[in-house]
Amino acid sequence: MACCVLQITGLIFGGVGMVGTLAATVMPQWRVSAYIDGNIVVFETIWEGLWMDCISQLGIRLQCKFYDSVLALPPTLEAFRALMCIAVILSIISFLMAIVGVKYTHRTKDNPQGISIFILAAGVSFLLTGILVMIPVSWTGGSIIHDFYDPKVPMPLKRELGAALYVGWVSTALLIAAGAMYCSFWCWADTSSKSRYPSLSRHRLHKPDFAGGPSLSVHAYV
């Protein structure tokens, strides 16, 4: 019963992390304009994302524009795009493998080896996805904080942490938690199969060889 709860919880965490990864990838709120030096009245808010930048005017009118040239983008932004796209694809694959693993676990409880393969693949994939999401999100957050406290950076160029970064961090935590759950279940299934079926290997060793071994028939006793 506890194992089923662990699998379902990991599946929920992985699904939410998958949705959060996709949301963080498409959201433009990676970098948000900072208002300091006593600016009380603010008419425009600038958002900078992986694919576009937006200008919100008093929260009523929103104008977004995709970046014109891919080659003109900074190398770090291109790398972050690639990492987040790979993370989205890998999160979907991990979630599908987790679904197959949960269904296979309930249908074939007598085959722990098959259960371990699906569960282990889903767990490792979730862990890799969490690492892929954490790299661009944490790198961007660190650069924003560094520029914010750097006196050499002009005030209009200072940015704050956007909502997409928080979504990415939460998704990273959920994906890593899901991966840890499935990997721990794989360890439990592997040890349980060895303790539950200790005579399986001995049975295979003592299995009679019908192809080349000596065969006994009824006429041998007559």
pTM score, two decimals?
0.78
Taken as a whole, the chain contains a residue count of 222
The torsion defined by the Cα of 14, 15, 21 and 22, in degrees rounded to 10, comes to 160
Question: Two tokens at 190?
Answer: 């592997």
3-state DSSP of the chain: CHHHHHHHHHHHHHHHHHHHHHHHHHCCCCEEECCCCCCCCCCEEEEECCCEEEEEECCCEEEEEECCCCCCCCHHHHHHHHHHHHHHHHHHHHHHHHHHHHHHHHHCCCCHHHHHHHHHHHHHHHHHHHHHHHHHHHHHHHHHHHHHCCCCCCHHHCEEECHHHHHHHHHHHHHHHHHHHHHHHHHHHHHHHHHHCCCHHHHHHCCCCCCCCCCCCHHHHC
Tokens 């539950």, located at residue: 196
Spatial distance between the Cα atoms of 42 and 214, rounded to a whole number of angstroms: 93
Burial (0-12, 13-18, 19+ Cβ within 10 Å), 72 = exposed
Closest CA to 97 of 200, 161, 22, 15: 15
Residue 86: pLDDT over 60: yes
The residue with tokens 């694809």 is: 89
Residue 167 bridge partners (DSSP): none
pLDDT, tens digit, 9 for 90 and up, residues 139-180: 999 999 999 898 888 887 888 999 999 999 999 999 999 999
For the chain, give the mean pLDDT.
80
pLDDT at 124: 94
What integer is the mean pLDDT of 30-54? 78
Looking at this protein, which amino acid is placed at residue 165?
L
**What confidence tier does 117 reach under pLDDT thresholds 50, 70, 90?**
confident
Model confidence over 94-108: pLDDT tens digits? 999 999 888 877 665
**Which of 130-144, 145-159, 182-196 is predicted most confidently?**
130-144
